[in-house]
Amino acid sequence: MLTIDEYQADGLLVLKVTGRMAFDTIHILNTRLQARLTFHPPGILVLDLARVEQVDSSGIGLLVATRNAMNRHMGRLCLCGLQVRVRDTFERMNLLNYFAVYPAVEDILAGHPLQEAAESSALSAR
Q: Rounded distance, CA 68 to CA 44, Å?
A: 13
CATH homologous superfamily of 2-124 equals STAS domain (3.30.750.24)
Residue predicted with more confidence, 99 or 110: 99
What would the pLDDT profile of 5-40 be if each residue is shown by its tens digit?
999 988 899 999 999 999 999 999 999 999 999 988
Say what the pTM is. Answer: 0.87
First vs last C-alpha separation in the chain: 41
117: pLDDT strictly greater than 60? no
Residues 50-75 have a mean pLDDT of: 96
| Domain ranges across the chain | 2-124
